[in-house]
Chain A
Amino acid sequence: MLVFSLPVWAQNDSGMVHSWLAKTSEAMRTLNYEGTFVYSHNGKLESMRIIHKVDAYGEHERLVSLNGEAREVIRNNTRITCILPASKSVVVDKSRPKQFFPFSMAARNINRLDKYYEFRLGKQERIAGRMAQRVSIKPRDIYRYGYRLWIDTESGILLKSDMLNTRGRSVEQVMFTDIRINHDIPSEALTPQIVGKEYKWFADDEKPSTEIKPLRTPEWKVSKLPQGYMMAESNHHRLPTSKWPVEHLVYTDGLATVSVYVEKLQGKDDSLHGVSHMGAVHAYGNVVDKHQVTVVGEVPQQAVELIGNSIVHMPGK
C-alpha cells in the first residue's frame, strides 16, 4: 500500500495535485491490476477489459474489447500486438518505452505547466467501489484539453478519467466499473484469446524499429505553435500505409502531445483533407509543396488547425 506524504512546499492546491499525479503515474506503471472499464466518446459506450502485470521484464498489458468482435491489444516492453478480427489480421510493431507524466517533484516542471493549466484538488468520491481523490487540470487556452482524474486513495491507481474540451464538456471518458489491484496475475491472462491459423500476420520481428534516424535536420518546420508547445522529437518512419518514409515531428506542452506526419503525395487519395476527429483525437490534413501533411493529437481542433496551417517546407541542405 502506498503511503502519500507530501513535501512541505506541496501544501497548496497546485502542488498537491502534482503529487497525486506523480503517485498515479507510478502506481499505473508499477502495480498489477486488472478490471473492466467503460470507454465513452461521442455518445457511444464501449466496455473493455484490461490486465496489467509488472515483472522482471517490465510491464505487460492486455486490452480486450467486450463489445462486438474481440479486438485485442497486447503490449510489453518490446512490442505491441493488435489483433483485429474484422480484417482477420494481426499487426505487430515495436513499442517504445512509455513516457510518463512529467510529474517528478522538480519544481520547475510544475511551474512550467502552471502557465498553461490550472490545477485544482477536488473532493473524494466513490468509484468502482473504492475511495478516489478527484483532481482537475484546466487548460488556460483553447489549444489544449482539460482533465478530470479520480485517483484511488489507497493504491494511486487511476480509476476514472475525463478529457474535457474548452467548454468543460467531456470528450472522452474512461472509468473502471470493477478492478482488482496488487494481486498475482498468471502469464496466461496476458495471452490472446483469439489467434487462428487463418489470420494474416503483418510483422517484421527482426526489424529494430520503424524509426529511421534522420541523417539531417528535418526539412519541415511548424512556424506557428500554440503557446507552450515545443518540439520534442523528429523521426522518420516506415509506416504500413505509406509508400515513402514518413517524416514525423512531435510537439508537446508537457501534457498534450501532437504529431505531424509529412509524406510525399502518392497520387492516390488516402490523405485527409481538413479536419476529422475520433473521440478526443483531432486530425487535420493539408497539402504543402506536393506533400501531404497530417497533424494528429489529443488536442482540440484549433490546435491541429493552427499547426497544420503553419507548416513550412525548407528543402535543401
Chain B
Amino acid sequence: MNETLKEQISALVDGELEGPEQDRIIRQIEQDPQLQHQWERYNLISDALNSHLTGNVRHNLAARVSDALVHEPIVFAPQRKKKHVKDAVKHVAGMAVAASVAVVVVLSVQPEAPVTSVQSTQVATVPAPNDWVRVSGTHWDLQSQPAVESKLNSYLVNHSEYTLSTGMQGVIPYVRIVGYDAE
C-alpha cells in the first residue's frame, strides 16, 4: 500500500478529511480488505493514544470477531476536529466493524471484572456496534430483529424532533426510548 493512501487513512481517523475527499477514501476502504486492516490499526492506535483501551486488546480480536459477525456497512459521522476522533462513530464495511466492536466490548468491561467470559459473550451477541439506541427490551413488536429495531429507533429519535408538541406529548417520543421493558 502506498504512503499517500496510508496518510489519507490516518487523516481520516483523525477527522481531518471532509466532503468528497472523505467519501472517496471511505469508498476505497470499503472495497479493499488491506485498507480495512490499515484502518483498523490506525483506529486502535488512535484509541490507545487517547487511553481508550485497557491493556487487554488483542490485535487479532478484530479478525475473530469479524468472522462471527455479519458484515454490515455502516455510516461515517463526518468529523471536523481532531480532538473529537475519540467521540466519533467510525464505521466502514466489514473489518472495521469488528474493530469498533472490539473497542466497545473492551470499554464495556468493568475494571475489576475478569475480561474473559464477559468479552466473549458480548462479542457473540452484539449484532452491530452502531446500535446506539438499542434498548434491552423489545419495544417495537418485531420478532427479535435487533438491527431493524435499532434502525427504527434512530428514525424515531430523529422523527421526534419534528413532532408537534402538545406539552407533554413533546416528551413522549423520548419516553419511548427511555422506557424500560421489565419483562
* Contact in complex: A259, B171 (CB < 8 Å): no
* Contact in complex: B72, A198 (CB < 8 Å): no
Contact of A270 among B80, B87, B148, B178 (CB under 8 A): B148
Interface of B, secondary structure class, is: loop
Name the segment of B3-11, B34-42, B58-66, B104-112 touching the other chain: B104-112
Which residues of A from 60 to 88 have beta carbons under 8 Å from B? 61, 63-65, 67-69, 71-73, 75, 80, 82, 84, 86-88
Determine the chain B residues whose CB is within 8 A of the CB of A80 once the complex forms.
157, 161, 174
Determine the chain A residues whose CB is within 8 A of the CB of B43 once the complex forms.
none
| Alpha-carbon separation in the docked complex, A205 to B84 (Å) | 8
Determine the chain A residues whose CB is within 8 A of the CB of B75 once the complex forms.
238-244
* Contact in complex: B151, A271 (CB < 8 Å): yes
| Alpha-carbon separation in the docked complex, A66 to B159 (Å) | 25
Name the segment of A7-15, A43-51, A117-125, A180-188 touching the other chain: A43-51
* Contact in complex: A82, B177 (CB < 8 Å): yes
Interface size on B (CB < 8 Å)? 71
Determine the chain B residues whose CB is within 8 A of the CB of A241 once the complex forms.
74-75, 130-132, 150-151, 154
Q: Is residue A161 contacting chain B, with contact meaning CB distance below 8 A?
A: yes
Determine the chain A residues whose CB is within 8 A of the CB of B162 once the complex forms.
96, 99, 232-233, 250, 257, 259
Chain A residue nearest to B51 (CB atoms) is A197
Counting contact residues on chain A (CB < 8 A from B), the size range is 35 or more
* Contact in complex: A205, B89 (CB < 8 Å): no
| Alpha-carbon separation in the docked complex, A232 to B177 (Å) | 25
What are the interface flags for B55-96 relative to A under an 8 Å C-beta threshold, 1 for contact and 0 otherwise?
Answer: 000000000000000111111011111001011110000000
Q: Is residue A24 contacting chain B, with contact meaning CB distance below 8 A?
A: yes
* Contact in complex: A277, B140 (CB < 8 Å): yes
* Contact in complex: A27, B167 (CB < 8 Å): yes
Q: Is residue A296 contacting chain B, with contact meaning CB distance below 8 A?
A: yes
* Contact in complex: B164, A102 (CB < 8 Å): yes
* Contact in complex: A283, B88 (CB < 8 Å): no
Determine the chain A residues whose CB is within 8 A of the CB of B175 once the complex forms.
39, 48, 63, 174
| Alpha-carbon separation in the docked complex, A248 to B150 (Å) | 18
Determine the chain B residues whose CB is within 8 A of the CB of A6 once the complex forms.
none
* Contact in complex: B132, A89 (CB < 8 Å): yes
| Alpha-carbon separation in the docked complex, A237 to B158 (Å) | 9
CB distance from A85 to the nearest CB of B (A): 9
CB distance from B1 to the nearest CB of A (A): 24
* Contact in complex: A278, B77 (CB < 8 Å): no
Chain B residue nearest to A273 (CB atoms) is B148
| Alpha-carbon separation in the docked complex, A82 to B161 (Å) | 14
* Contact in complex: B166, A242 (CB < 8 Å): no
With known contacts A203-B87, A233-B162, A242-B151, A73–B174 Cβ distance under 8 A: yes
* Contact in complex: B165, A99 (CB < 8 Å): yes
CB distance from B157 to the nearest CB of A (A): 7
CB distance from B178 to the nearest CB of A (A): 4
* Contact in complex: B132, A296 (CB < 8 Å): no
Determine the chain A residues whose CB is within 8 A of the CB of B87 once the complex forms.
201-205
Chain B residue nearest to A203 (CB atoms) is B87
Chain A residue nearest to B154 (CB atoms) is A241
| Alpha-carbon separation in the docked complex, A5 to B147 (Å) | 51
* Contact in complex: B165, A100 (CB < 8 Å): yes
What are the interface flags for B117-156 relative to A under an 8 Å C-beta threshold, 1 for contact and 0 otherwise?
Answer: 0000000000010111111110111100101101110111
CB distance from B54 to the nearest CB of A (A): 10
Determine the chain A residues whose CB is within 8 A of the CB of B81 once the complex forms.
206
Chain A residue nearest to B131 (CB atoms) is A87
| Alpha-carbon separation in the docked complex, A87 to B77 (Å) | 19
Which residues of A from 125 to 159 have beta carbons under 8 Å from B? 147, 149, 157-158
* Contact in complex: B172, A101 (CB < 8 Å): no
Determine the chain B residues whose CB is within 8 A of the CB of A147 once the complex forms.
166, 169
Q: Is residue B181 contacting chain A, with contact meaning CB distance below 8 A?
A: yes
Determine the chain B residues whose CB is within 8 A of the CB of A239 once the complex forms.
75, 154-155, 158
Determine the chain B residues whose CB is within 8 A of the CB of A163 once the complex forms.
169
* Contact in complex: A68, B180 (CB < 8 Å): yes
Query: Given A82-B178, A98-B165, A101-B165, list of 7 further CB < 8 A pairs?
Result: A61-B171, A71-B180, A91-B132, A204-B88, A240-B77, A276-B142, A278-B152
**Which residues of B are in contact with A by a Cβ distance under 8 Å?**
70-75, 77-81, 84, 86-89, 103-104, 107-111, 128, 130-137, 139-142, 145, 147-148, 150-152, 154-159, 161-183
Can you spell out 15 A-B residue pairs with CB atoms less than 8 angstroms apart? A39-B179, A73-B178, A80-B174, A86-B135, A86-B136, A87-B134, A200-B103, A239-B155, A240-B75, A241-B130, A266-B72, A269-B147, A272-B148, A278-B140, A279-B176
Closest 3 CB pairs of A and B: A28-B167, A68-B180, A270-B147
